[in-house]
Amino acid sequence: MIKRIVHRKGFTLIELMLVVIIIGILVAMIVPRMAGRSEQARVAVSQADVDLNIATALKLYELDNGSFPTTDEGLNALLSAPSTAKRWKGPYLDKAPVDPWNNPYKYRSPGTHRTDYDLYSLGKDGTESSDDVTNWQQQQ
């Protein structure tokens, strides 16, 4: 009797998330060049970081450790293991996340606008105002 070994092939969650990240990066790089609108392009890149790139890294961290980094640990917890991490498998990002205006992204967990976390860029002016790019409201 010959036994057949069936190997099921499919994609893991991490592979799918990496593909989404790559597509987001490509879109963030290509769209601004085609449109030629530098400020709109910066906002689009920042929105992609907030909604996709950094958000995916935070979700992977949460999958590994059971919770999001605290506000005190901040986004640095995605680069090096904080003391509270249970099963840190990072780094989850290649470099410290800075927005297109060269300011660090702001992070708060638990969030004041969302229950899990708030992630945002202060935008061009560097202060909390209407030009902020956030994960809790759609940009107009």
What mean pLDDT is reported for the chain? Answer: 86
Report domain extents, the chain.
14-134
> Does residue 32 have a cis peptide bond before it, meaning omega lies within 30 degrees of 0?
no
CATH topology of domain 14-134: Glycoprotein, Type 4 Pilin (3.30.700)
Q: Please say whether the beta carbons of 135 and 118 come within 8 A.
A: yes
pLDDT tens, position by position, 47-77: 999 989 999 999 999 999 999 999 999 999 9
pLDDT tens, position by position, 102-134: 999 999 999 899 989 999 999 888 888 888 999
| Measured distance CA(121)–CA(48) in Å, rounded | 11
Q: Model's pTM, two decimal places?
A: 0.70
Number of H helices, E strands in the chain: 3, 3
Query: What is residue 25's three-state secondary structure?
Result: helix
Q: Determine which helix (DSSP H) or strand (DSSP E) holds 40, and give its type and residue range.
A: helix 38-48
